[in-house]
Amino acid sequence: MDRKPAQQTVHVLIEALPYIQAFSGRSVVIKYGGNAMLDETLKSSFARDLVLMQQVGIRPVVVHGGGPQIGERLEELGIRSEFVDGVRATDRQAMDVVEVVLGDVINTEIVELICQHGGRALGITGKRGGFIHAKSLQLKRSSPELEAPEIIDLGHTGTVERIDPEPILEMEKNGQIPVIAPIGVGADDESYNINADTVASRVAIALEAEKLMLLTNQPGVLDSGGELLSGLALDEVEAMIAEGTIHGGMVPKARCAIEALRNGVHSAHIIDGRVPHAVLLEVFTREGIGTLIAADSD
């Protein structure tokens, strides 16, 4: 009788044990987006990861994006979507579409997947739950022709003013996995479409989370030679941004990680969501699969 498969299973469980002990009862906020949301196999593996985490006492909290799905739906409806410095400007008509795609279609699908795999989840938007307080995002653009920077109002594209953690904590207390669509509410009761990385970072801070995990379409943070860096200290990440080693779309993700770490979150992880069971591999194995960023170099 070949006992190797059984022995390998035991080895995996034993390796995971100290992480289960360390993180049980703690919140782990996961930004879910990119290819992981589009591939059926990856969607299923992600849902299973969440259920297993919940079963061993960890409290996963999901904040999901949906940019490609929003863009596709706007195109189908013939609604023009303008981007300013890489940020989608959202008018009232587009915001109606965003609320349906994020708050109803994608959010419901994630909740159903988790439940299909034996977990308990509850979908919510920051507006319906009243816990993501937002305001309109305004960009400043400078040019030699202008005496003062031009202020560009992006309409219903917003930024977080503050997070009220109580509705999320109540869901955790009830044994539910919160699945959050990044739609906030302003003082004027208007809806605001907010970057999911930003919301995930601010939710992690509000919950005093153990970890912030950002799923991407990249292996993680790469050095100047394109090699994956498995572990970085906060000051190293800041230096890499300043010198341009971290560039492009990785910069806002790194800044979200920095914000979380500077405000009490223990660690941040930028991981490859294209890898099946990426979340479990990063949380429960010594090697991990992405980049772990710690608040200091200890």
CA distances from 270 to 10, 189, 216, 219, 252 (A): 28, 33, 7, 8, 12
The pLDDT of residue 154 is 67
- What is the Cα–Cα distance from 272 to 280, expressed in whole angstroms? 12
CATH homologous superfamily for 24-294? Answer: Acetylglutamate kinase-like (3.40.1160.10)
CA distances from 82 to 85, 88, 91, 157, 267 (A): 10, 6, 10, 11, 35
pTM for this prediction: 0.91
Mean pLDDT by runs of 10 across the 298 residues of the chain is: 78 91 96 88 96 96 92 88 74 90 95 96 93 85 52 76 96 97 92 94 97 95 94 94 93 95 96 95 91 79
The pLDDT of residue 198 is 96
* Ordered alpha helix ranges (H), 64-215: 67-76, 92-100, 107-116, 166-173, 196-207
Q: Contact at 8 Å (CB) between 270 and 258? A: no
- What is the Cα–Cα distance from 255 to 268, expressed in whole angstroms? 11
The pLDDT of residue 36 is 85
The pLDDT of residue 10 is 87
- What is the Cα–Cα distance from 238 to 8, expressed in whole angstroms? 39
The pLDDT of residue 103 is 92
The pLDDT of residue 3 is 74
